[in-house]
Chains A and B, each alone.
Chain A
């Protein structure tokens, strides 16, 4: 049982807004998944805007508390971990955020983000800080003299994100939580970031939960994929199978709409979009994709479809697979 590194069980988060007339929005609903602990493993959490990706990340980080359900890290509920030994959890579970521009304090040199973690977590056991930093930078293919001593505005977004990877590597975590870390980096620099990320898995055995809206990136980086639709998981399985033969009508629609970088094979047909009002979007008792699904049937309106096993390692929440 304790073979999971991270186990998310029936996680639900409801945001309530409004002073008197309370309005509840279910951002995440009954979400369960595992990141195995016996081998380094990258899981991609893929979903469109508003699907609840970032809420899940914030829950796993402990920034917000779940409405119900639990998150276990190495078998222990993270709420307990954060109370008792927050520092250990923060050291073993690292995060890299989407925006490389808002992370840095513009008045300090970039070295500071690296020095701070060394001081805070007593890394390197008294070794010279500068030597540790330079060694770490070289490990991810950055020449220290290119970046050290510079101010954030003097380096590009891609370089800032790679510095974040250096900071993470200093800590040698077990798990990285990544929230769209390359969406603000130029295409030509993305591959370099992603390859470093993959190297962390191979060389240092670091696992990751990688959040993205982009199947292309999910496919490149992840072993397994989880597809979110309006706060619900609707499909999970090995990433390659997921993009090659998607099962859920929602996943199919997404994969089918990825523009291909090949002008000789354009979209062969037009899609008919159902226009739904935002109010229709969340039907509390219907399938999460009910409002937009092209193959909707009567059952879909009545209840949330349960997960059905397909093959040995895939699951889909859709009545059409009964």
Chain B
């Protein structure tokens, strides 16, 4: 399989008067061409900061401390600003959190999509306009939407317009940060379907960030679970759910309320602060399987089975 994105030991920190917030503290993963790669984790685990680091859009006081982000053979972190601008949107596009509210209220949907195309390519306006109906159809919207203004659309329709615009130039990678959060159920399902369709039709690769584990279960191929600025576990989504290796993943999955379950269990304790991460394994203060070495020794993430990575001393002895 061809790797489209390789992230190596990426660290993204925030400066503050209290010290450094090590929001992303050494994350590595690869995304393969054509897959939907999911990143899950609770609030404050570093998901969004990770994305901002990968796309090099982190703003002060945040900064990239170190690491590599290889996309299509280039290191994004070493690329010049102009080169970076050129691949954004056309090759690498981004759907930020809450972006459905960033549509221009006084422009028709059609014009906003055309705007995105003409800004990033040499394509003439007329030609771009011809593409709009197809782009809308791809995300399940009727032609009529092209001539509507954002206030005439529901939240789910706006989100699909954003996805249509983000994929207008057939980028090889789309990074979507919580694209279905705050949408109603039926609408959420429609948007997830639109993302799955785009992948099927055009082979778009998707890096999909969401806090909702059930959404990952419906959409992604591989899943990474983050906690305290690190990836705790990574693997094919079925394996991560059905045979979780890391205690945190297992407990997180048990904590998901579902109409099919009678009981759920929470994870006692509090989520740690990026200012002072716990020593050793960062999950050790809340882990029911904690051992002495977990408190002092950082577990190195290692590949334990085919395609499965885990950072936990329970799996540490054999290499």
- A residues with a Cβ closer than 8 A to B are 48-49, 156-159, 186-195, 213-217, 219-220, 243-244, 253-255, 257-264, 266-267, 270-271, 273, 275, 277-278, 292
Chain B residues, Cβ within 8 Å of A159: 270
A100 to chain B, nearest CB (A): 12
Chain A residues, Cβ within 8 Å of B241: 261-264
Within 8 A of A (CB), among B228-271: 237-238, 241-242, 251-253, 255-261, 264-268, 270-271
Query: Chain B: interface residue count, which band?
Result: 35 or more
B186 in contact (CB, < 8 A): yes
**Knowing A187-B42, A262-B241, A277-B152 touch, does A255 contact B251 (C-beta < 8 A)?**
no
B184 in contact (CB, < 8 A): yes
Extra 14 A-B pairs, beta carbons < 8 Å, given A158-B270, A188-B267 = A48-B184, A49-B184, A157-B43, A187-B213, A187-B256, A188-B266, A190-B266, A191-B266, A195-B266, A220-B257, A263-B237, A266-B218, A271-B193, A275-B145
B70 in contact (CB, < 8 A): no
**Knowing A191-B255, A278-B152 touch, does A258 contact B270 (C-beta < 8 A)?**
no
Chain B residues, Cβ within 8 Å of A292: 186
Q: Which among B242, B264, B266 is the interface contact of A264 at CB below 8 angstroms?
A: B242
**A259/B189 in contact, CB under 8 A:** yes
**Knowing A263-B238, A264-B238, A264-B242 touch, does A189 contact B214 (C-beta < 8 A)?**
no
**A190/B255 in contact, CB under 8 A:** yes
**A186/B43 in contact, CB under 8 A:** yes
A252 to chain B, nearest CB (A): 11
Within 8 A of A (CB), among B125-143: 140-142
Can you name 28 A-B residue pairings with CB atoms under 8 Å? A156-B270, A158-B270, A187-B42, A187-B211, A188-B271, A191-B255, A191-B266, A193-B266, A253-B186, A254-B186, A257-B186, A259-B192, A259-B212, A259-B217, A260-B218, A261-B217, A261-B241, A263-B217, A263-B218, A263-B238, A263-B241, A264-B241, A264-B242, A266-B218, A271-B186, A271-B189, A277-B152, A278-B154
**Knowing A48-B184, A187-B255, A190-B255 touch, does A273 contact B238 (C-beta < 8 A)?**
no
Chain A residues, Cβ within 8 Å of B193: 267, 270-271
Chain A residues, Cβ within 8 Å of B184: 48-49, 213
Q: Which among A262, A271, A273 is the interface contact of B217 at CB below 8 angstroms?
A: A262
> Digit string of B205-219 for contact with A (CB within 8 Å is 1, else 0)?
000000111111110
B185 in contact (CB, < 8 A): yes
Chain A residues, Cβ within 8 Å of B215: 259
**Knowing A189-B267, A192-B266, A263-B238 touch, does A257 contact B188 (C-beta < 8 A)?**
yes
A173 CA to B265 CA, complexed, in Å: 27
Q: Which among A49, A219, A263, A275 is the interface contact of B259 at CB below 8 angstroms?
A: A219
B5 to chain A, nearest CB (A): 22
Which of B216, B265, B266 has the most A CB atoms < 10 Å from its CB?
A: B266
A209 CA to B265 CA, complexed, in Å: 23
* 4 nearest CB pairs, A to B: A191-B266, A188-B267, A259-B214, A192-B266
A156 CA to B266 CA, complexed, in Å: 15
Q: Which among A157, A187, A215, A275 is the interface contact of B252 at CB below 8 angstroms?
A: A187
Identity of the chain B residue whose Cβ is nearest the Cβ of A48 in the assembled complex: B184
A255 CA to B238 CA, complexed, in Å: 23
Q: Which among B141, B216, B238, B265 is the interface contact of A275 at CB below 8 angstroms?
A: B141
B190 in contact (CB, < 8 A): yes
Identity of the chain B residue whose Cβ is nearest the Cβ of A186 in the assembled complex: B42
A263 CA to B215 CA, complexed, in Å: 9
**A267/B218 in contact, CB under 8 A:** yes
Within 8 A of A (CB), among B266-314: 266-268, 270-271
B69 in contact (CB, < 8 A): no
Chain A residues, Cβ within 8 Å of B42: 186-188
Q: Which among B187, B192, B257 is the interface contact of A190 at CB below 8 angstroms?
A: B257
Q: Which among A189, A191, A273 is the interface contact of B186 at CB below 8 angstroms?
A: A273
A230 to chain B, nearest CB (A): 12
Chain A residues, Cβ within 8 Å of B154: 278
Within 8 A of A (CB), among B141-197: 141-142, 145, 152, 154-155, 157, 184-190, 192-193
A235 to chain B, nearest CB (A): 15
Chain B residues, Cβ within 8 Å of A187: 42, 211, 213, 252, 255-256
A219 CA to B259 CA, complexed, in Å: 6
Identity of the chain B residue whose Cβ is nearest the Cβ of A185 in the assembled complex: B43
Identity of the chain B residue whose Cβ is nearest the Cβ of A277 in the assembled complex: B152
A223 to chain B, nearest CB (A): 14
Chain B residues, Cβ within 8 Å of A264: 238, 241-242
